[in-house]
Structure 1
């Protein structure tokens, strides 16, 4: 945005100046197409720093991984009831359904490509939110899949996608199943 140049002022509001900018950050682009209660909410971003800064709604209970594994012992570090675990699974599957089939035209689907316990955040009520859309991809309305180099975390990566480079919603479903 050229250091908040006055030529880029879009308007003035009661909370401050609004600047016109061009975003090329994948996460910002993808999250601008998503409005779901189980996807972490992007509040804003700053591209004036060396590394773009993204501002998300605060999620206070950490990630699912930290509640399942104690890194030192390999055992559960907190007790999640069966009911809470089921609630997490239901909420994340609903969010994936939204990403894969309930997005807006002209997008056919949003594929996360890195669904894993570390990218599932838990709020104060243990409501699950999918986060980290840095590797996600958009599949446009006229496409059934996307041919791309396989990306994601080893162990969660769909073997079919790894072999064929054909990215579909099935890749996220595989990763989600490994996470459960």
Structure 2
């Protein structure tokens, strides 16, 4: 096995990013520590990264974190909405089956309703757990706009109530 001197190695920018990311993650795991902004700035300076580039990267990172949190909230919203629909399906179809049993002495017409509702529930399963594609993005954007409007209204109403209390 031959080993090259380390000074002869060359790395692409992508390789450098991966190596440094792994090294920082390993160091953070070993020491279970967080980095201060000053330490981040020092590392960036050593890598010849300007403070303005670091600030822009940090802003991008914060917006990505915010979007990840929003997408997680959207996923939670869709799952809770789905659970509510499954509950409604179970209650309504349970009632209809009981009604069919009591009135007809067996299961007849309620099975058709059960199957039809089961088909719509199956489509709802598909739509709820499909997290890729254009339809998902459209649904997310619609939910996000509604979420932003609700937050704005809540902020305005809160300020209005605070103004009335003074």
TM-score by length of 1: 0.20
Greater helix content:
2
The normalised TM-score by structure 2 is 0.21
Rg larger in structure: 2
Q: Which has the higher strand share?
A: 1
